[in-house]
């Protein structure tokens, strides 16, 4: 039987034919990789987080797959701001608004500089300010310093008047959600993306009695199944606290249609797939779409809106 469910969604007034895309960082550093996502069943794509200048990132090995996920300490290797702005501009000129430009300056000044350049550009689509990379040596994750988040957003919105989202680290205490949501609600944010990897985990190979990635003595961001409950909690906690105008992208631990279903139940408008997208590649979007359509069909849902944010409590 032909399923008639829709996986369409909307974020900040932009229509997406499918709610799924890659998570920034995974298979999205080059034009070749980005194009592969754009022609897949994904609803759009997000670029690797850019710094102003191209970066080599951290030393290898800097990423390893694990039984239930991954650990990485990439350190923001990327082709630089101009490369990604050029790509998103070309997409926009071709009539495609489903491309998000991610930026992750290693200082507040660098982020503000990139936002000035975006403001001055003709790019009118979504920009994501990544305040949560755990892997830049000597640089704390801005998302854990609520005053710094307030400062960068105050400065940003003093001149930036296009659609801006923010990528956050996972939070763990309910008071943290209260405090960060109070800051975020002061600004006309397009969306919040939760979560980045759980920073500074440590994975050991007992055989060799050594860590398995080189940078930072083996400490790195954890992704995949390990982080799903934390990701769901962050999406849910934010949906309960953020102004309704602020959308949510749910990221963390998605590798099946059921995982997407759960993220949407918690309130996600779109979802992003990182760890599982790595080995499986762009075909993952078609597989997970099929799985989600089947789940929705069985439950009698025709659209995501029918169950988005409707998680029940006991």
Binding footprint of ligand OXC on the chain (CB under 6 A): 25, 49, 72, 74-76, 130, 132-135, 196-197, 221
Q: Nearest 10 degrees: CA dihedral of 16, 7, 238, 113? A: -20
Q: Which is nearer to ligand OXC, 19 or 74 (CB)?
A: 74
Phi, psi for residue 264 in degrees, rounded to 5: -70, -40
Q: Which is nearer to ligand OXC, 43 or 134 (CB)?
A: 134
Q: Which is nearer to ligand OXC, 73 or 289 (CB)?
A: 73
Is 266 labeled as catalytic in the residue annotation? no
Chain centroid to Cα 173, Å, comes to: 21
The reply to whether omega before 265 is within 30° of 0 (cis) is no
Closest approach of Cβ 132 to ligand OXC, in Å? 6
Burial 113-135 (b: 16+ CB within 10 A, else e): ebbeebeeeebebbbbbbbbbbb
Q: Which is nearer to ligand OXC, 223 or 247 (CB)?
A: 223
Closest approach of Cβ 306 to ligand OXC, in Å? 33
Q: Which is nearer to ligand OXC, 131 or 246 (CB)?
A: 131
Closest approach of Cβ 197 to ligand OXC, in Å? 3
Q: How far is CA 307 from CA 7, 53, 123, 144, in A?
A: 12, 43, 33, 31
Closest approach of Cβ 121 to ligand OXC, in Å? 23
Closest approach of Cβ 101 to ligand OXC, in Å? 14
Say which of 104, 133, 242, 260 is annotated catalytic.
133
- Cα atoms found within 13 Å of the Cα of residue 22, Cβ hemisphere only: 30
Would you list the DSSP string of 92-135? HHTT---EEEEE--SSHHHHHHHHHHHHHSS--SEEEEE---S-
Q: Which are the catalytic amino acids?
A: 133
């Amino acid at each position: 039987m032909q399923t008639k469910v829709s996986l369409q969604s909307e974020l900040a007034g932009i229509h997406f034919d499918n709610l799924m895309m890659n998570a920034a960082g995974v298979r999205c550093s080059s034009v070749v990789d980005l194009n592969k996502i754009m022609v897949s069943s994904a609803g759009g794509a997000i670029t690797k987080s850019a710094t102003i200048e191209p970066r080599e990132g951290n030393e290898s090995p800097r990423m390893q797959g694990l039984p239930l996920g991954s650990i990485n300490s990439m350190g923001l290797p990327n082709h630089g701001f101009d490369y990604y702005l050029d790509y998103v501009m070309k997409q926009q000129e071709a009539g495609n608004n489903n491309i998000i430009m991610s930026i992750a300056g290693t200082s507040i000044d660098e982020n503000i500089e990139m936002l000035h350049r975006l403001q001055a550009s003709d790019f009118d689509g979504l920009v994501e300010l990544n305040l949560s990379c755990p892997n830049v040596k000597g640089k704390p994750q801005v998302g854990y310093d609520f005053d710094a988040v307030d400062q960068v957003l105050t400065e940003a919105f003093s001149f930036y008047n296009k659609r801006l989202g923010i990528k956050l680290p996972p939070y763990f205490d309910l008071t943290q959600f209260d405090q960060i949501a109070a800051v975020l609600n002061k600004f006309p944010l397009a969306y919040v993306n939760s979560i980045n990897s759980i920073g500074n985990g440590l994975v050991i190979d007992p055989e060799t009695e050594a860590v398995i990635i080189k940078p930072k003595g083996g400490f790195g961001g954890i992704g995949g199944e390990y982080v799903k409950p934390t990701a769901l909690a962050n999406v849910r906690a934010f949906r309960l606290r953020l102004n309704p105008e602020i959308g949510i992208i749910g990221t963390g631990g998605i590798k099946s249609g059921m995982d997407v279903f759960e993220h949407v139940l918690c309130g996600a408008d779109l979802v992003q797939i990182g760890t599982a997208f790595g080995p499986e590649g762009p075909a993952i979007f078609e597989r997970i779409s099929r799985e989600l359509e089947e789940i929705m069909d069985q439950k009698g849902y025709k659209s995501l809106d029918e169950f988005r944010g409707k998680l029940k409590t006991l």
